[in-house]
Structure 1
Amino acid sequence: MNSLPLFHRIDGKRVVVLGVGEAAEAKRRIIRRAGGICVSEHEAHHASLGFVVIDDDREAEAAAMRLRMKGLIVNVTDKPALCDFTVPSLIDRDPVLIAVGTGGASAGLAKMLRLRLERMLPQGLGRLASALGAARAAIRSRYPTAADRRRALDNALGEGGALDPLVEHGEGAVDRWLAGKVERPDSGVHEFTLQSGDPDDLTLRQARLLGSADYVVHDPAVPEAVLVRARADAQRIGGNEMPEIGEEEIAIVLRLPK
């Protein structure tokens, strides 16, 4: 990974766009869609982002240099080597925003991945996110500690859960979940012998449990590419020592084949 994905708020802010033609207009449309104000180079001193949509390599490089000298970070269309940042292909389920990027390697690949993912995601995903945001105080009241909240949300939002994000939910789904019985059927210890050190060989169940585990106990030789599939805040334990886990906690034990 050579880029850090970030969501940059531009609502009400000026963004410089240099260039003419359909590609430049496409950039202006997406900036306006995000609430940004498209301006010329003359107003660059008011901006922090700049887009250069110029075909000629030398002209594009010169324009990018001018904007950088004014303190902007710059994207140059179809010229990854000149870019401070790249623009991903977007799936918009406001307020859920999913970005698919390839670091400038292939916009076409990012687009096709986006189209495939679009078909998987229900239109009501944004409504679910907004309802969870509105219920933040109620969730904190029912689940007072951060650990309790995380476990409850992991269970509800997991595959087949009461708030599974890949399933269309009607109005009031979050309220119904808060009023229901709390369950975490995957709690306990789960031990797996991996097929290999390739994360693509993880089964769906292994990948799902890794994504919600509180503890990951693993052979020292299990590669980082597999371990990063776990939650970032999961406790990693290299070796055979088993932690003491709570009643509703999940521990995953990963072994490599001998």
Structure 2
Amino acid sequence: MTIMEFFGCTFIAFGPPFAMFLFTIARDPLRVIVLIASGFFWLLSLLLSSLLWFAVVPLRDKLVFGLVFSVMFQEAFRFLFYKLLRKADDGLQKVSQVTEAEHVTPRDISNKHIMAYVSGLGFGILSGAFSIVNVLADMAGPGTIGILGDSPYFFLASAFLTLCFILLHTFWGILFFNGLDKKRYWMIAYVVGTHMLVSCLTLLNKPTQSQPEPLYLASIIPGYLVLLVTGVLAFRTAGGSLYNIRAACSCRKGRFDID
């Protein structure tokens, strides 16, 4: 039973991101490089957050302290990675001048939304991996949570929240980069504000003396509502529309009819 729970929660958390990586990034070496580099920048933000938590001894037991500064460091390193990508545009243009058989296309450089999407997914995958890897290790057994009175929904809630944050980081990357490119600073404020909001909502999952039961739905439902709004904004920002969706569906349907 524990193995089934392990694989089920793993597929919930990483199934959609793995599909996104497989179909949109894996065949393009340049996108893979950007994905890995963005993940490295997220790791640097985690390192600084850990150093700050370790240095400020009186506040080590205050979870909200570490959470707030972790969000701030993540957004700061998202900004630094944006600056790095813009500085490296000329070099990426030269790297992209290869044969089409290698699946590296110059349009990836000219269409900045692609790089924003890839870097956001890199942030999200590393964030999700570090947030749930220890939970997955415990999930494999022996035994299962809930036996000693803990909530039996902890693993499931963790998986859905991990998926939520991975997708949010992907959409946040698109909005953040576009906000800096077009000087739409409300987008940057939206990204930082919603990141802080959804992260703080996860504090409701920690039982306290005044709140003995974790409030998983109070964090999951608002988190996915923010995900829906952010996804629509990112879709529109990247140039998407209902007309494009209908056109793509029509083309695919016509191709299937021919086949």
Structure with the larger RCO, 1 or 2 (CA within 8 Å, 6+ apart): 2
TM-score scaled by structure 2? 0.25
TM-score scaled by structure 1? 0.25
Of Structure 1 and Structure 2, the greater strand share is in: 1
- Radius of gyration: which is bigger? 1
